[in-house]
Each structure stands twice: as structure tokens, then as C-alpha cells.
Amino acid sequence: MHKGIYCLVLSTPGVRIRVGALGELFFQSGWYVYVGSALGPGGLSRALRHIRFSRSPGAPRWHIDYLLASPAFVLGTVICARTTERTECLLTGALRGRIIPGFGCSDCSCASHLFHYASDPVPSTREVCRSIGLLPFITRLNTFKVQS
């Protein structure tokens, strides 16, 4: 499997969830982009693991698992890009959503790897990937319209 980076795009009507050591967090209505690295031995199959987990949750291992396991979140899109470089922190630094402090970044110095958006972030996330030299490919899984 190719190595790379991925972004999970989730949506929610709004919910309060306990997220491991981060404690109870309130997630506003809207869309969320989670940035992850797939440079390990399984490569981009890490994104497939998240898709499977969202459909049949087990015991959470990472912060994102708490959202994927919640029926209040819908995993709608996965954006992947092949790379052998550590670009997830570069990508998170270029995204313009509202950060969820400390989420998914316990192994780096980023403020967060999860971002909130009021509208569909897929087009802007694709453009940010391109702006840092990545060639993103997009897989749409579900559609979800956030109710205002």
C-alpha cells in the first residue's frame, strides 16, 4: 500500500462527546476535517481502517475514533495524497478552519489535527493540499446536509 497523508471529512448536527484524555468536548454543528499520517507499514490503508471503524466501531484507540464511533458524526469524504514526506503538520498549518485544541496531535507540536468549518470544506482542503505540492484524490462515502 502506498504511503501518504489523509483527511477525514465528517459532519455533525452538533453533539457533546467524551474524547479520551481530552475529556468532554462540545462539537458545533458543521463539518470537521481531521488530518492524519499514513507513513507507517500499512500506508494509506490507515484511511480504510477509519472507514471500517466508522461503520463498525470497537474500542477507541485514537482521538478520531471517538468521533467515528458516535452516531452523531457522519464520515462523508476521505481525501488522500501519496507522499513519503511528513506533510501532515504542514497541511494542518495551512488549513483555515477553527482548531479543536489538542485533538489528534499528541505526537507533534501542532495545536490540533482537527478543524471545524461552517460549510463543506472539501474544495478548500483539496486546494490546500495542492498548494503544498500534494495531488489529492477524493472518495465520497456519504452525503450529509448540516441543518441550520
Q: Which pLDDT score is estimated for 143?
A: 62
The dihedrals phi and psi of 30, each to the nearest 5 degrees, come to 140, -155
Residue 148 has pLDDT above 50, yes or no: no
Cα–Cα distance measured from residue 136 to residue 125, given in angstroms and rounded to the nearest whole number: 9
| Residues 21-70: tens digit of each pLDDT | 999 999 999 999 999 999 988 999 999 999 999 999 999 999 999 999 99
Selected residue with higher pLDDT from 148 and 88? 88
For the chain, the helix, strand and coil percentages under 3-state DSSP, each to the nearest 5? 25, 30, 45
Biggest alpha carbon–alpha carbon distance for the chain: 42
Residues in the chain: 148
* Banded model confidence at residue 105, pLDDT cuts 50, 70, 90: confident
Per the CB < 8 A criterion, the answer to whether 102 and 26 are in contact is: no
Domain edges within the chain: 4-140
Q: Which residue has the cell 482521538?
A: 63
